[in-house]
Amino acid sequence: MGNKKYIMCSGLAFADEEDMEMLHEYAKEGWIFERLRFGVLYELQRKQLQNRIYSYDSNAVKKKDKDDYLAMFEESGWHLVGQWSRDIRFFWAEAGTPALHSDAKVLGNQYRGLFWGSVACVVVAVICFLFGGSKVWLYALGGALLGGGGLLMIACYLRMKGKRLAINPKTYGYQLWRIATGIILLVFMIRTKSAWNFWKLLAVGIAGYFLLMGCIDILRIYLRKKQKKIRRSV
């Protein structure tokens, strides 16, 4: 285990540039990116120090065209690290190699499939809220799908337009999203007339956690920024 470490993925739709730069910094320290585990964890292996940069590609490629597609990247200096899911492929190159993708349209098209998947999540969430009745677990599911799917839908839409919704846990925007998700879930729990049970308690607990941690982290961010200003003025 001492030769491996796992780093949380921030979400490629939100913080891909930050994540790729993070992997670059780890490579310079001798921690080389090997694969993405479960879609949320970067697995790093202890090796020699490398000045590698990283990128990824998620364009849909037919099986018969895959070898030619990868060969095109190899000729450009980008080598396959590995593949996660059907279409997400990670690459590495030596520092100074031209970017894997420079065309904004190509970059945006990578998120088209994920966008429609997130739209489906939002539609299911609305159905859960409209027809949940006294079934608390449907409201809990709807809240989770609306919070996660809705945010992902906005992020992918902006990506398709050549823009980016940067979600960073150290920003006020991220914490306000957590608080808003908690409030929405809490409101629907209050509206349900069913008796208190495990699912209702769980949903209220999740909502309370989002609200509490969002408020605490906003205070932390504020104090951290205030301390930085004090240090600069000294």
Can you give the pLDDT of all 234 residues of the chain as single tens digits? 578 888 878 777 777 778 888 899 999 989 999 888 877 788 898 988 889 899 888 777 777 888 888 888 888 889 888 877 767 889 999 888 888 775 556 666 777 777 888 899 889 988 887 877 767 677 777 777 877 788 778 878 887 777 766 655 566 666 777 788 778 777 777 766 666 677 677 777 777 877 887 788 788 777 777 777 776 665
Q: Which residue has the tokens 């994920």?
A: 114
Six-digit token pair at 63?
Answer: 């099986």
Structural domain boundaries of the chain?
Answer: 4-102, 109-233
- Give this prediction's pTM: 0.59
Helix axes 198-233, 172-191, angle to 10 degrees: 160
Residues belonging to the chain:
234
Q: Taking all residues of the chain, what is their mean pLDDT, rounded to a whole number?
A: 78
What is the pLDDT, as a whole number, of residue 221?
76
Chain CA centroid to CA 192, Å: 31
Tens of pLDDT, residue by residue over 176-226, are 777 887 787 777 777 666 666 776 777 777 778 778 877 887 887 777 777
Amino acid at 58: S
What's the Cα-to-Cα distance from 225 to each of 7, 36, 118, 120, 166, rounded to whole Å?
25, 33, 34, 39, 19
